[in-house]
């Protein structure tokens, strides 16, 4: 036995060891593997072994000590969970023997969660469920879950949509209060507002959209002059009817966008407004914010005027009809509109030419439409190619949006979509890539918008065997909504915002209100940066939900194709371990595992894999076959043929 003095010395030694061991607090970051990391506020990062990750959940705030992990490395040892953000989650019910679990539908919560007998709600193998964490793994040993709702089975009609809508909490339907407000607006009509508007009904506006579109938010007219065009862009004006902070306004803010899914569309605004009272329907008097642009022969925009107006669209035209007219083919468009549409086409070509010479043209890629059956399952995937009419409308909308942004910047007000160019940590490699491929003596500068546009254009026009523009585009920051009038590097614009979709996007509706206040000399009601971030997050959530639903349906369709079928695909992304490829005919994306490709090297500068003179590069077309489909996680793995 130790005497009292020895015990005191031992306690003192333990305290010294404890006090000398580095301790921190940080947030747990999960990975696709079983290991993770914990990040501290001072931007330090420490490794969490698989055993330590079993104690915590993604996003947990933890207290931890740092210990040596061999070979000069360090690891974090969790000592206390300070807070946990994980609560509700969704997943698939799994039964293994007597054990009942949920496999979470979450890339980062990548473990099965045990469900005790009293919390199972009679769920069966394969059921898709909503649940919450009822017991945290620390210090209890393992996480437990309580099932809150059984959403359905994988083979049920429309289950893909129902599950994803529930998972992302996408709003659907409108409250009685909102419906009552809409009914009052419809009963009141537009007469009072129309009386106070600039009358532009003499201009032969037309709308150009998909044949089945009902929420029509833009109409166009162009008049040719000796030195260019007058381009008129009429945008639907729901902001004139929807009061700020009303029930209808709050509901629109909660959605932030209309959500588009393969078998349904969830509108931001009720159909009585978005498809009727505010929609720029053919031969109907409608409220509009009209942007009048003077476009020079070279496609530059010389002036911008904004009118609080009333218009009457002369025709509802489809992309196909307009493309046929442009191409000199037979079409059903009234003869008296032919000249106006050709003026629109010529104006849009000048705008495109200006952008090509002075800005940046984004990569063009096809769209894919999923044709669903009565059960909501994919029965066909159709590749939609863009035509001249699509490009005409796109050029007019880009001209409208960047002109509005410049107008707001001059007034030092409004909010904008900023894009800061190449990610900071990737600038060195992008600069090295341009210097090497263009054989420059000095490093090019790409910090300012003008510098960036100049060198991307030169890279695009070079005779390099590499797709330089595509490589650079993979290194860019994401765009963001901001009260600051910054540049948009991705488009090559000094300023940019969106104004042209107020029936479908809440930030566009807010911008309409703000512009009316500026035109009328009223006090400005600017959103906060936090509100803009919330709008952006909700719109991102909507896009992710639609993408996951489409992926699920596409993979179910792919699983029904011939097992040994081969497909043409393009390489769209690469890292050291995988290729991501996109099937040419269906747009389905999946990975090709390259970890076992011996003697191949991944080049981070060119985003390519090479072995000697052999090389895989972005945009390269390859032949692939299906190796494995996991519809539950909406992933597919291909092999190279």
DSSP secondary structure string for all residues of 299-345: S-EEEEEEEEEEEEBSEEEEHHHHHHHHTT----S-HHHHHHHHHHH
Q: Where in the chain is the domain with CATH 2.40.50.140?
A: 20-83, 88-153, 561-640
d(C-alpha 234, C-alpha 481), whole Å? 23
Residue 4: is its pLDDT beyond 80?
no
State the residue for tokens 């729901």.
238
Per-residue confidence (pLDDT) for residue 114, from 0 to 100: 95
Q: What is the DSSP string of 477-536?
A: PPPEEESS---BTTTTBSS----S-TTTBHHHHHHHHHHHHHHHTPPP-PPPHHHHHHHH
Q: Name the nearest CA neighbour of 580 among 460, 490, 474.
A: 474
Residue 429: is its pLDDT beyond 90?
yes
pLDDT interval class at 404 (50, 70, 90): very high
What is the mean pLDDT of the segment spanning 505-527?
A: 95
Q: Rounded to the nearest 5 degrees, what angle is found at the Cα of 581, between the Cα atoms of 578 and 586? A: 155
The SS3 call for residue 98 is coil
- CATH tag, 20-83: 2.40.50.140
Percent of the chain, pLDDT > 70?
97
Per-residue confidence (pLDDT) for residue 9, from 0 to 100: 54
- CATH tag, 561-640: 2.40.50.140
First to last CA, the chain: 73
d(C-alpha 222, C-alpha 293), whole Å? 9
Residue 17: is its pLDDT beyond 50?
no
Going by their DSSP bridges, the two strands 416-418 and 480-482 should be labelled as antiparallel
The CA R_g of the chain, rounded to the nearest whole Å, is: 29
d(C-alpha 238, C-alpha 458), whole Å? 43
Q: Read off the pLDDT of residues 171-203 as tens digits, 9 standing for 90 and up.
A: 889 999 999 999 999 999 999 999 999 999 999
Residue 269: is its pLDDT beyond 80?
yes
Chain centre to alpha carbon of residue 13: 56
Q: Where are the beta strands (DSSP E) in 359-495?
A: 367-372, 378-384, 416-418, 480-482
Q: What share of the chain is helix, strand, coil (3-state, %, to 5)?
A: 30, 30, 35
Tokens of 66: 């740092």
Q: Name the nearest CA neighbour of 167 among 120, 131, 124.
A: 131
User: Are the beta carbons of 482 and 415 closer than 8 angstroms?
Assistant: yes
Domain 88-153 is in which class? Answer: mainly beta
Tokens of 392: 């005409």
User: Edge-to-edge strand order for the sheet containing 198-199?
Assistant: 198-199, 301-312, 285-296, 228-236, 218-225, 206-209, 315-318
C-alpha torsion 552→555→556→560, nearest 10: 170
Per-residue confidence (pLDDT) for residue 5, from 0 to 100: 63
Tokens of 301: 């925009």
pLDDT interval class at 80 (50, 70, 90): very high
Per-residue confidence (pLDDT) for residue 603, from 0 to 100: 94
Per-residue confidence (pLDDT) for residue 423, from 0 to 100: 95
Per-residue confidence (pLDDT) for residue 631, from 0 to 100: 84
Tokens of 337: 């509109």
Q: Read off the pLDDT of residues 82-130 as tens digits, 9 standing for 90 and up.
A: 999 888 999 999 999 999 999 999 888 888 999 999 999 999 999 999 9
d(C-alpha 400, C-alpha 406), whole Å? 10
Phi, psi of 181 (to 5 degrees): -65, -40
User: Are the beta carbons of 455 and 434 closer than 8 angstroms?
Assistant: yes
Percent of the chain, pLDDT > 90?
87
d(C-alpha 454, C-alpha 446), whole Å? 8
User: Are the beta carbons of 589 and 368 closer than 8 angstroms?
Assistant: no
d(C-alpha 40, C-alpha 65), whole Å? 12
What is the mean pLDDT of the segment spanning 17-21?
A: 54
Contact residues for 159 (Cβ-Cβ < 8 A; gap 6+): 128, 151, 152, 153, 376
What is the mean pLDDT of the segment spanning 53-67?
A: 93
Distances in whole angstroms, Cα of residue 27 to Cα of each of 74, 82, 138, 533? 17, 10, 15, 22
* CA dihedral over 426, 427, 430, 431, signed as positive or negative: negative
d(C-alpha 524, C-alpha 27), whole Å? 39
* CA dihedral over 99, 103, 104, 108, signed as positive or negative: positive
Contact residues for 128 (Cβ-Cβ < 8 A; gap 6+): 90, 91, 92, 93, 150, 151, 152, 153, 154, 159, 163
Tokens of 92: 């698939």
What is the mean pLDDT of the segment spanning 147-175?
A: 94
pLDDT interval class at 246 (50, 70, 90): very high
User: Are the beta carbons of 155 and 128 closer than 8 angstroms?
Assistant: no
What is the mean pLDDT of the segment spanning 326-340?
A: 93
């Amino acid at each position: 036995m130790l005497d009292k003095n020895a015990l005191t010395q031992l306690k003192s030694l333990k305290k010294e060891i404890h006090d000398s061991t580095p301790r921190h607090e940080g947030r747990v970051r999960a990975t696709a593997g079983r290991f993770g990391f914990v990040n501290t506020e001072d931007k330090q990062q420490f490794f969490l072994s698989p055993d330590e990750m079993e104690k915590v959940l993604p996003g947990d705030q933890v207290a931890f000590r740092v210990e040596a992990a061999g070979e000069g490395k360090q690891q974090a040892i969790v000592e206390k969970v300070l807070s946990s953000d994980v609560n509700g989650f969704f997943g698939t019910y799994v039964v293994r023997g007597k054990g009942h679990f949920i496999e979470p539908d979450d890339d980062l919560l990548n473990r099965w969660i045990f469900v005790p007998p009293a919390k199972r709600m009679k769920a069966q193998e394969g059921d898709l469920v909503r649940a919450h964490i009822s017991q945290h793994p620390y210090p209890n040993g393992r996480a437990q879950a309580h099932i809150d709702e059984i959403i359905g089975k994988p083979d049920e009609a429309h289950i893909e949509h129902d599950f994803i809508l529930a998972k992302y909490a996408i709003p659907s339907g409108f409250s009685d209060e909102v419906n009552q407000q809409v009914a009052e607006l419809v009963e009141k009509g537009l007469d009072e507002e129309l009386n106070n508007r600039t009358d532009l009904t003499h201009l032969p506006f037309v709308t150009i959209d998909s044949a089945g579109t009902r929420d029509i938010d833009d109409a166009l007219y162009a008049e040719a002059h000796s030195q260019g065009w007058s381009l008129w862009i009429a945008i639907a004006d729901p902001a004139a009817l929807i009061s700020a902070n009303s029930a209808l306004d709050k509901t629109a803010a909660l959605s932030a966008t209309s959500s588009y899914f393969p078998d349904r569309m969830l509108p931001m605004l009720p159909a009585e407004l978005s498809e009727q009272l505010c929609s720029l329907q053919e031969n109907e008097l409608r409220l509009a914010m009209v942007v009048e642009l003077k476009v020079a022969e070279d496609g530059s925009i010389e002036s911008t005027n904004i009118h609080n107006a009333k218009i009457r669209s002369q025709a509802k035209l489809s992309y196909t009809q307009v493309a046929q007219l442009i191409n000199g083919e037979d079409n059903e468009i009234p003869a008296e509109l032919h000249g106006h549409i050709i003026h629109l086409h010529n104006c849009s070509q000048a705008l495109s030419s200006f952008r090509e010479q002075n800005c940046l043209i984004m990569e063009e890629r096809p769209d894919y439409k999923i044709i669903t059956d009565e059960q909501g399952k994919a029965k066909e995937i159709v590749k939609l190619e863009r035509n001249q009419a699509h490009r005409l409308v796109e050029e007019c909308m880009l001209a409208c949006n960047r002109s509005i942004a410049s107008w707001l910047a001059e007034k030092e007000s409004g909010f904008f979509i900023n894009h800061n160019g190449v990610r900071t940590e990737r600038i060195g490699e992008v600069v090295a890539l341009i210097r090497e491929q263009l054989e420059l003596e000095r490093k090019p500068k790409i910090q300012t918008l003008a510098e960036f546009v100049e060198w991307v254009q030169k890279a695009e026009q070079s005779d390099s065997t590499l797709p330089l523009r595509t490589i650079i585009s993979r290194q860019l920051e994401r765009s963001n909504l901001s009260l600051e009038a910054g540049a948009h590097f991705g488009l090559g614009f000094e300023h940019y915002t969106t104004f042209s979709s107020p029936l479908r996007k809440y930030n566009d509706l807010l911008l309409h209100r703000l512009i009316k206040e500026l035109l009328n000399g009223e006090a400005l009601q600017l959103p906060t940066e936090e509100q803009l971030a919330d709008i952006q997050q909700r719109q991102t959530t909507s896009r992710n939900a639609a993408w996951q639903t489409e992926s699920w349906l596409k993979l179910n369709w792919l699983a029904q194709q011939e097992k040994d079928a081969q497909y043409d695909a393009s390489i769209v992304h690469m890292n050291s371990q995988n290729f991501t490829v996109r099937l040419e005919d269906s747009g389905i994306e999946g990975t090709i595992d390259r970890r076992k490709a011996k003697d191949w090297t991944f080049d981070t500068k060119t985003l390519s894999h090479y072995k000697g003179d052999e090389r895989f590069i972005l945009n390269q077309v390859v032949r692939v076959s299906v190796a494995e489909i996991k519809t539950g996680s909406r992933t597919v793995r291909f092999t190279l043929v």
